[in-house]
Amino acid sequence: MKSGLQNLQAVRPLPRLWVERVWILESREPLCCIRDIPLRPGINVVWAREPDDNSGSGLASAGHGVGKTSFCLLLRYLLGDDASAISALRAKAAANFPKGGVAAQVHIEGVSWLVFRPFGASSPSWAKVGNQLDELFDEPRATPFQDYLEALQSGFIGRLPTQVLPGTNQPLEWRHLLAWCVREQRTRFDGFFHWREGEGLGFRRSRVDPPLFVSSVLGILNVEVVRLLQEAEQLDAELNKVKSQIPILEKVSAMELDRLEQRVRTKVGARKELPIFESIVEDSLASQVAESLRRAALNEQTIEAEALAAEQAMEPDLVLLNDLRSVCAQSILETQLSKALYEAREKDALRLRGEIDELTRLKGHCSHGRVDFDSCSYVLSRRSTVSMHGRMDVKDAQASLQVRLASFNKAAEDEKAAKARLDKQVARVKELRAGVARLRMRVATSQIGRDTLAADWKEFQAQYALRAEGKGSEALTSARTHEGTLTEQVNGKRAALATRRLQASARVEQIKVITSMVAAALLGEEGHGRFVHDSDQRPFELALGGEAYQVLEVLLGDLSCLLDAATSVESHHPGFLVHDCPREADMSALLYRNFLSTAFEADKQLSTSEGVPFQYIVTTTSPPPLELGKDPFLVLELQPGKDEALLFKRKLEVELPGFASKDGGNAA
């Protein structure tokens, strides 16, 4: 070998995933097999060869339409894929074999599974652990097909360092890995991360996610790196959110400052052109605010003095009000006494007489008049005036009905007059109190206005100072502080991530060594192939240009990853690879033969008595190298023009005259 592949050392005898046999069935009851295709660990060639004679013409003579792409679709179907291209093939196969299907023996992590998938849409798929085809259809078929799919998911996705993609937390699925392991012809091998044409893999970020997924499968993206990536992306998202808010807060801060300034100017009556702070030639907003606050404080003092004076001037009226209330109360009692005498109610008369006498005997301080009772004008007047009722005793009153009636009428008139004087004084005191209340309200209103102006001016000065320092409102300052904190945290995560990636460089170096070895085998020492682990377009590069070498870069990457899976315990690649006609993707015949020869040499180098630690299945229309064109490497030979040499041993669709069928659509 030219390049030193002999230095490769296998870490396992067989691939973690490989297909041992494929059966195309016309029916399962009774069991009727159209084609039995044995496969092996190592390289497997499906050759759609040209006819030996000149009976074929056009595309048919080049090996198209015989079933090689259909075989790749069947492999995908057997491994759990249900893409639209597979559904189209199933519909055509079901039209020819309504009871038919495809079965396989698939090894997953050392466990042999038997799988059946029908052509018809209404029939169920099933799988069970076993080794012989007849075991698959034995009753009871207790193992659900979902168990087989879960074995694929847990065996090859469950062992990855993370089951979600960093950044989106999108769950990883077996179909993502299967798309890489079975590379279809329609993509023309135009990019390492281009695995499906028109079907889509459901990755939310078509450019970012496939490289992350490949790094995870290759064992470069470890759990700690994934964690740091997720944390860095979360911090980045939060940082971007804060950064987007800062311009808005800056605008709001400027608007708030303008609004505060306008509000202060309006309150003090300052014109718009007046400078904010002291000027040599003219007044300023600051001095007008100070003057306005000073005037407001003086005005409050003046009004407060007026209110105190009004309260003092109201004292005599309050004394008179209380006197009049007492007079009114006395008048009411005297009226009631006169009525009791007139009606000869002796007990009531005696009670009322006692209440009246008590008033004349008052001693101490009168709280209403704020003087001693001996100095109270009302009490003194009542004591010096002996009423008609005071001169009459009960018996006399009873003897003189006319006198009693006259006394009652006189008392009623006195009561009415007392009430009138009281009402008048109540109204006057109410008016005086209202005047005092208005003065107090003016003081309170002035204080509120002065406090509001002082608060607005203080806030304006604070925000003005912040803006002068390049800061802003409290919210803006907080956002900028948060931005700085997040930036530090993001930089810290990125530094830690860089450190972890450096620590993972040993793993990267392993893949680089294998890539260099495979490139040298393909192109000689001049090939200079290399692995660029952080590239999101060309992770495997050749130092040569041209479209043919672009295709070869994809093949170089796939073969390097396949051999790495066979020789490294750190890789999570299943060691299974299918290429559908890479030669037809604008690749020269010489490069194609060198590539197949390299795969053959890897097969020989890593082969043991137990098997080969990888499985590589390739379909080709070009003749394979001589050593691959025979058993055990040539596993299926197809040929146009002969039904027995077609995959299904018949055409699944009649071709229209003048049109050659596409291999994947009009598969045979």
Q: Does residue 471 sit in helix, strand or coil?
A: coil
pLDDT band at 16 (very low <50, low <70, confident <90, very high): very high
29 lies in the same domain as 149: yes
The DSSP bridge pattern shows strands 42-48 and 634-638 to be: parallel
Mean pLDDT, the chain, rounded, equals 83
Residue 323 inside a domain? The answer is yes
Residue 484 inside a domain? The answer is no
Q: What is the pLDDT of residues 400-412, one digit of tens each?
A: 666 667 777 877 8
Average pLDDT of span 259-281 = 81
Residue 200: domain span:
16-222+504-645
User: Which pLDDT does position 320 carry in this prediction?
Assistant: 84
In angstroms, rounded to a whole number, what is the distance separating the alpha carbons of residues 28 and 98? 11
Average pLDDT of span 248-270 = 77
440 lies in the same domain as 509: no
193 lies in the same domain as 329: no
Q: What percent of the chain has pLDDT above 90?
A: 41
pLDDT band at 230 (very low <50, low <70, confident <90, very high): confident
Residue 11 inside a domain? The answer is no
Check whether 658 has a pLDDT greater than 50: no
421 lies in the same domain as 525: no
For residue 271, CA distances in Å to 283, 284, 286 come to 11, 10, 13
Burial class (CB in 10 A: 0-12, 13-18, 19+), 347: exposed
57 lies in the same domain as 203: yes
Q: What is the pLDDT of residues 587-630, one digit of tens each?
A: 888 889 999 999 999 999 999 999 999 999 999 999 999 999 99
Residue 593 inside a domain? The answer is yes
In angstroms, rounded to a whole number, what is the distance separating the alpha carbons of residues 181 and 186? 15
52 lies in the same domain as 201: yes
Task: Report which of 455, 615, 594 is spatially closest to residue 1, judged by C-alpha positions.
Answer: 594
Largest CA distance in the chain: 166
Check whether 661 has a pLDDT greater than 50: no
Residue 588 inside a domain? The answer is yes
In angstroms, rounded to a whole number, what is the distance separating the alpha carbons of residues 259 and 267? 12
Check whether 659 has a pLDDT greater than 50: no
In angstroms, rounded to a whole number, what is the distance separating the alpha carbons of residues 119 and 70? 13
In angstroms, rounded to a whole number, what is the distance separating the alpha carbons of residues 637 and 642? 12
184 lies in the same domain as 107: yes
User: Which pLDDT does position 359 carry in this prediction?
Assistant: 60
519-557 in b/e form (b: 16+ CB < 10 A) is bbbbbeeebebebebeeeeebbbbebeeebbbbbbbbbb
Higher pLDDT, 170 or 356: 170
Structure tokens at 198: 């028109």
Q: What angle do CA 519, 521, 526 make, to 5 degrees?
A: 60
Q: What is the pLDDT of residues 281-336, one digit of tens each?
A: 668 888 889 989 999 999 999 999 988 998 898 888 888 888 888 878 877 877 78
Residue 73 inside a domain? The answer is yes
User: Which pLDDT does position 377 carry in this prediction?
Assistant: 61
User: Which pLDDT does position 89 carry in this prediction?
Assistant: 95
For residue 104, CA distances in Å to 25, 42, 212, 620, 648 come to 11, 17, 32, 22, 16
In angstroms, rounded to a whole number, what is the distance separating the alpha carbons of residues 636 and 624? 12
User: Which pLDDT does position 374 carry in this prediction?
Assistant: 57
437 lies in the same domain as 524: no
pLDDT band at 664 (very low <50, low <70, confident <90, very high): very low
Higher pLDDT, 373 or 416: 416
Check whether 253 has a pLDDT greater than 60: yes
Q: What is the pLDDT of residues 383-400, one digit of tens each?
A: 454 454 444 555 555 556
Q: Mean pLDDT: which of 165-174, 210-219, 400-409 is highest? A: 210-219
In angstroms, rounded to a whole number, what is the distance separating the alpha carbons of residues 633 and 625? 11
Average pLDDT of span 131-154 = 87
Check whether 1 has a pLDDT greater than 50: no
Quickly tell me which residue has 């005086």 as its tokens: 432
323 lies in the same domain as 396: yes
Can you give the CATH number for the domain in which 126 is found? 3.40.50.300
Check whether 120 has a pLDDT greater than 80: yes
437 lies in the same domain as 537: no
User: Which pLDDT does position 344 carry in this prediction?
Assistant: 67
Last residue of a domain, one of 425, 445, 465: 445
Q: What angle do CA 575, 579, 580 make, to 5 degrees?
A: 155
User: Which pLDDT does position 395 carry in this prediction?
Assistant: 53
User: Which pLDDT does position 482 carry in this prediction?
Assistant: 81
630-635 contact pairs (CB < 8 A, 24+): 632/40, 633/40, 633/42, 633/43, 633/44, 633/45, 633/600, 633/603, 634/45, 634/47, 635/37, 635/38, 635/39, 635/40, 635/44, 635/45, 635/46
User: Which pLDDT does position 461 carry in this prediction?
Assistant: 83
Q: What angle do CA 598, 617, 650 make, to 5 degrees?
A: 135
Residue 656 inside a domain? The answer is no
Check whether 571 has a pLDDT greater than 70: yes
Residue 102 inside a domain? The answer is yes
Check whether 634 has a pLDDT greater than 90: yes
Q: Please state the pTM of the whole predicted model.
A: 0.63
Check whether 480 has a pLDDT greater than 60: yes
In angstroms, rounded to a whole number, what is the distance separating the alpha carbons of residues 648 and 667? 8
In angstroms, rounded to a whole number, what is the distance separating the alpha carbons of residues 322 and 379? 12
Domain count, the chain: 2
78 lies in the same domain as 198: yes
21-24 contact pairs (CB < 8 A, 24+): 21/104, 21/105, 21/133, 22/71, 22/74, 22/75, 22/78, 22/102, 22/103, 22/104, 23/102, 23/103, 23/104, 23/133, 24/74, 24/100, 24/102, 24/647, 24/648
Check whether 655 has a pLDDT greater than 50: no
Range with the lowest mean pLDDT among 7-16, 197-206, 417-426, 640-649?
197-206
Q: Mean pLDDT: which of 2-16, 103-117, 548-562 is highest? A: 103-117
208 lies in the same domain as 352: no
